[in-house]
Chain A
Amino acid sequence: MSNHAFIVYKKEIKDMVRDRRMLIAAFGFALLMPVMMGVLYLVSKDSEAEARNTMLALSNIHQAPGLVAFMEKREIDVVEFEGNIVPEELPGKADALLFLPDNYGEMIKQGKVVIGRLYVDENTKLGIQRGREIGSAMDAYSSYVAGIRLLARGVPAAVASPIITSSYDLGNAGFFRQFMGNMILMMMLMAPFVGGLVVAVDTLAGERERHSMQPLLAQPVTARSVILGKLAMVSTFSIVSSLLSVTTLLIAISFIPAGTLPFAVYVNAHTVPLIFIQLIPFSILIAATQLFISIQVKSYKEGQSYISMFMMVPMFVSYLKIFGGEKLADFALFAPILAEMESLGSLFFTGEVSVSHMTSSILVSIIGILVLTWFTSRKLQSEVMLDAA
């Protein structure tokens, strides 16, 4: 950094850190992020429900001792449901409600087909899982009863069940795990956006609005030095915000008992520096982009509007990865933000370096910084900068 750029940098840092609102705006997100993630996790986790067995509410329970025993063998608790009217929601802590006909016992004895009605609640991820568990247990019980009926008639049970399939979840991460993991990555990548937002607007659009740009440009200092100094200041805020968010997140995770999280975090002395190396150029790129936007506008308010809109970019891209990641082409994962998510995700959740994503992310960041800084410096030389809104 040239001497003049360093002079600008020192002044800008001093100027910005004296504004308490700017500090809160810049670093509040990074400090509150673990709390937000914690709330999100707790809301999604259904921890109390997960700690107990699946529960089935059953009408005419006294006519179905065999079904009750079968379910309990599968660690599904069965409770009695009185009445024949379908309630608006599942009773008590039940995960499903099964209506059996009033003559269930008689029909089973006579070998007739019984039609039961199973009610589940698929509003939550847990509701879907447990509803399916009970549905599949019912299918299994039906096969079991069919087998007994066939045996009573001298036919081997295997005739009615030529294929028996057991299901196992081989997925590395279920949707919940992926969702939570990607949310953490999104929050980490949002930090430089939030960290640089206010200071980037203030340092160019604000300076122009306060009419202090003209005396500055009348000094023997090049536009490039001014922009480099300002970029260094905004980058400082973005980088600190980024690193702070990672640090607070890791501290928060360290307090969570092992095995409680839906994913494993591989962070150690080897991966932390790599995470920082990944985040620093990205943070500078975001700072350069915010300055590029800030120099296009005449007033602080206008700048705030546009840079706030820019905040939607990481959110949109992250949601694209969360909800449509499977459909994205491989090359799309090298695009800015997606490449950072891939690389950080690999470091964070597997402890491995995704060399291709990390390299492309750093290269794209460096090229972006150079191009945007060049355009911003060029714009600062324009005489329109002398006039405020």
Chain B
Amino acid sequence: MIIVKDVAKAYGDVQAVKSVSFHADDAKITTLLGANGSGKTTTLRAISGLLHMDAGSVTVDGMIVADDPVKAQASLGVFPDSFGLYTRLTTREHLAYFGEFHGLSGTKLDAAITEVDKMLNLSEILDRRTEGFSQGQRMKVALARAILHRPSNIVLDEPTRGLDVMNIRLLRTILFDLRKEGRCVLLSSHVMAEVSALSDHVVMMAEGVVCAEGSPAELIARAGEVNLEEAFVKLTGQEDNGERKVA
């Protein structure tokens, strides 16, 4: 379970996140929904222990990230905004490298690799160097890397970007499986159809603040609109040109 409370972060004069608070519960898929620059990635980086926050706190399974980021990171599986693969290593070597940081070795590591192979159908690319992989194959390696150690919390930053329909469907199935296993899945997106199809809980963000949160159905009802896209526009006060209406 991830609890974000009053998190704020500025980069120089730019206030990327002003005040963000929400819960991402176990056995649920929680989505941060927001336009580009709304503070989603900064929030996810703060959760992943990659940023020093200016204010607020993040708790992962009861551990305060700022106090001991390494301990909190052991409970997280992170799928960052870029795949970041090593082109001279094979998929198996990638998984072994990251698995070892989580204490996996020997037969345990082999078993974990076999499991993600089964889950993501990696057999064709398992012993191939990642150079020249398609976007879908790269996604699979990055996702396998994030879930190899069976973390209780999985954080994914815009996981469907650049993927074709079949890979999006595969990703969706895996995320549902992870939810079924009782894991906390937190992702960010600005693709309405994906958010509607995936999310149990949606956190709408704009200009570094949370504007609304709830299930997709609740948010649509609260906005009195017919779909999530319209509800997002209304609840975040966004104009069609991307500017936010000031109340």
Q: Which residues of A are in contact with B by a Cβ distance under 8 Å?
A: 4, 7, 11, 14-15, 18-19, 210-222, 383, 386
Contacts and interface: CB of A to CB of B under 8 A. Distances in A.
A217 to B, nearest CB: 6
Given A218-B49, A383-B51, A386-B50, A212 B85 contact: yes
A7 B97 CA distance: 7
Contact of A14 (B83, B89, B145): B89
Given A15-B86, A386-B50, A220 B78 contact: no
B76 interface: yes
Interface stretch (B67-75, B111-119, B205-213): B67-75
Given A7-B100, A214-B80, A215-B145, A220 B89 contact: no
B219 to A, nearest CB: 29
B180 interface: no
Sorted nearest first, the 10 A-B pairs with minimum C-beta distance are A212-B84, A211-B82, A218-B78, A220-B74, A220-B73, A219-B101, A211-B84, A18-B88, A214-B80, A7-B100
A219 B73 contact: yes
B169 interface: no
Contacts of A386: 45, 50-51
Given A218-B80, A222-B70, 16 more contacts: A11-B86, A11-B89, A14-B89, A18-B88, A210-B86, A212-B84, A212-B86, A214-B80, A214-B81, A214-B82, A216-B84, A218-B78, A219-B98, A220-B70, A220-B102, A386-B50
Contacts of A14: 88-89, 93
B52 interface: yes
Interface string B85-99: 111110001000110
Contact of B78 (A7, A18, A215): A215
A45 to B, nearest CB: 45
Nearest to B155: A218
Contact of A220 (B84, B93, B101): B101
Nearest to B89: A15
B38 interface: no
B48 interface: yes
29 contacts: A7-B97, A11-B89, A11-B93, A19-B88, A210-B87, A212-B84, A212-B85, A212-B86, A213-B84, A214-B50, A214-B80, A214-B82, A215-B83, A215-B84, A215-B142, A215-B145, A218-B78, A218-B80, A219-B98, A219-B101, A220-B101, A221-B73, A221-B101, A222-B70, A383-B45, A383-B50, A383-B51, A383-B52, A386-B45
A213 B80 CA distance: 10
A218 B71 contact: no
B83 A211 contact: yes
Contacts of A214: 50, 80-82, 84
Contacts of A218: 48-50, 73, 76, 78, 80
A103 to B, nearest CB: 84
A374 to B, nearest CB: 18
A220 B149 CA distance: 12
Contacts of A18: 88
Contacts of B89: 11, 14-15
Contact of B97 (A11, A222, A383): A11
A220 B48 CA distance: 10
Nearest to A211: B82
A222 B49 CA distance: 11
A15 B100 contact: no
Most buried by B among A14, A211, A218: A218
A117 to B, nearest CB: 70
Interface in B87-145: 87-89, 93, 97-98, 100-102, 142, 145
A220 B70 CA distance: 4
B93 A7 contact: no
Contacts of B71: 220
A388 to B, nearest CB: 8
Contacts of A211: 80, 82-84
